[in-house]
């Protein structure tokens, strides 16, 4: 048991070190030697757990996917409206990125030229499916305009969210991501939500940003 625990700890150390480097300098610019040095493990220890750099990237994307799915499940358990649930999920994913290197690296790896192996789905496909389902439900709940092009709105939302992170990586600290997500929602709400319901969701966007900033 002690040996198994040490192996699991070593694997976690390697993943965290790789995620930190992938996030800070990119997948292509990070070598396995860089990861060995950053994790302070031997090459043998790394190759025991991961045969190639792509395997490490895949492991990080799996962890990011599970964490994002848990955020979505936790949000759904609150019993809130579909639009509120979608908003809370995007802010929850932003919080993960602010708090740890693995979610940040997962977001960056999603934009890299890495094959996503089944059963793992590409994160953009997962987010697009989530946004589509929630916006369809929001139409039924009269929280967005009834003539909304849901597919176009879901695609725009995912691109907006991912773009905020990709552009922000080079321009500003990760801690600014909640502000950018709030700005995204302030713009989206004004275009999607009927005027009588708009104030509620604008207020919610500001509230969710503050919640991340005070953690």
Q: How many residues does the chain have?
A: 215
Q: What is the C-alpha to C-alpha distance for residues 208 and 86, in angstroms, rounded to an integer?
A: 12
Does a structural domain hold residue 80? Answer: yes
Does a structural domain hold residue 136? Answer: yes
pTM of the model as a whole:
0.88
What are the pLDDT digits (tens) for 74-84?
999 999 999 99
Instruction: Find the DSSP H helices in the chain.
Output: 2-25, 32-39, 43-49, 53-76, 82-99, 101-109, 123-140, 150-171, 177-192, 195-213
Q: What is the C-alpha to C-alpha distance for residues 167 and 182, in angstroms, rounded to an integer?
A: 16
What are the pLDDT digits (tens) for 43-76?
999 999 999 999 999 999 999 999 999 999 999 9
User: Which residues span the domain enclosing 86?
Assistant: 61-213
The CATH code of the domain that includes 204 is: 1.10.357.10
Q: What percentage of the chain has pLDDT greater than the value 90?
A: 69
Task: Return the CA Rg of the chain.
Answer: 19
């Amino acid at each position: 048991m002690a040996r198994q625990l040490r192996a699991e700890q070593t694997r976690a150390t390697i993943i965290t070190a790789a995620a930190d480097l992938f996030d800070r300098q990119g997948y292509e610019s990070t070598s396995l030697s860089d990861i060995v040095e950053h994790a302070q493990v031997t090459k043998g220890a790394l190759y025991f757990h991961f045969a190639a750099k792509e395997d490490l990237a895949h492991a990080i994307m799996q962890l990011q996917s599970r964490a994002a799915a848990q955020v979505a499940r936790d949000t759904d358990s609150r019993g809130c409206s579909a639009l509120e649930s979608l908003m809370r999920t995007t802010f929850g994913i932003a919080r993960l990125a602010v708090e740890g290197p693995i979610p940040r690296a997962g977001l960056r790896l999603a934009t890299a030229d890495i094959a996503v192996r089944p059963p793992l789905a590409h994160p953009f496909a997962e987010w697009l499916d989530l946004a589509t389902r929630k916006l369809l439900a929001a139409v039924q709940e009269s929280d967005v305009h009834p003539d909304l092009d849901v597919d176009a709105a879901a695609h725009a939302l995912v691109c907006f969210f991912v773009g905020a992170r990709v552009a922000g990586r080079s321009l500003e600290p990760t801690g600014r991501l909640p502000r950018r997500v709030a700005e995204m929602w302030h713009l989206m709400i004004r275009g999607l939500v009927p005027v009588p319901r708009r104030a509620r969701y604008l207020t919610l966007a500001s509230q969710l940003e503050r919640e991340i900033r005070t953690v």
